[in-house]
Amino acid sequence: MLEYFGLKICGLTRKLPLIPISKNTKIASFNILGDAELTEKVATELSKRLKKYKFDYLVGPEVKVVPLIHELATKLRHKKYVICRKSVKPYMASPTILKPLSHFPKHVRPLVIDGADKEMLSGKKVVIVDDVVSTGVTIRMIKYLMDKIGAKVVATVAIIRQGEKQFDEIENFIYLAELPIFKETTI
């Protein structure tokens, strides 16, 4: 039988299933895919918080963040945003690939940006968008990729910060809610 954690965010409540990630540890699984109501509410709140930053583009990883980044771009009146892929796609011309650093967890995939997107972002200011930040690996990889192509990250936004890890190294980190990591003694 599944256990759940109740998350209250932007005036909404969601039941998140607790998923085991190791023998004594579970996480509350947060996923906005298919939840148009939640996506709209969190995008509204994040867009308000982003108004104080001057930037040209939103950038995020595939797949779960796509509805959020689209809704944010719409609300902020940005005509384009960029999604970093996890593999080279046949349609890409001159892609830039960032492989995970050797000390990153084994499940971490490369990040790939199309050559046309690289040219568009070069010399521009960007905001990184993600749904959940738990270890910070994806955010750091996107930051490295932006550095590599000559874009400047001015802020990072996420819906959820998960766990107790401090993210002082992420400049201008904005998030809306926190989720604990559940150890056997806290479940």
Taking only the tens place, the pLDDT of each residue in 9-24 is: 999 999 999 999 888 8
List, in order, residues 6 or more apart from 64 with CB less than 8 Å away. 31, 32, 33, 131
pLDDT(131) > 60: yes
pLDDT(92) > 60: yes
Give the least confident one: 33-47, 73-87, 100-114, 139-153.
100-114
pTM above 0.85, yes or no: yes
pLDDT(70) > 90: yes
Please state whether 179 falls in left (phi above 0), alpha (psi between -120 and 50) or beta.
Answer: beta
- In the chain, where are the structural domains located? 35-177
Q: How confident is the model at residue 110 (pLDDT cuts 50, 70, 90)?
A: confident
Q: Provide the CATH number for the domain formed by 35-177 in this structure.
A: 3.40.50.2020
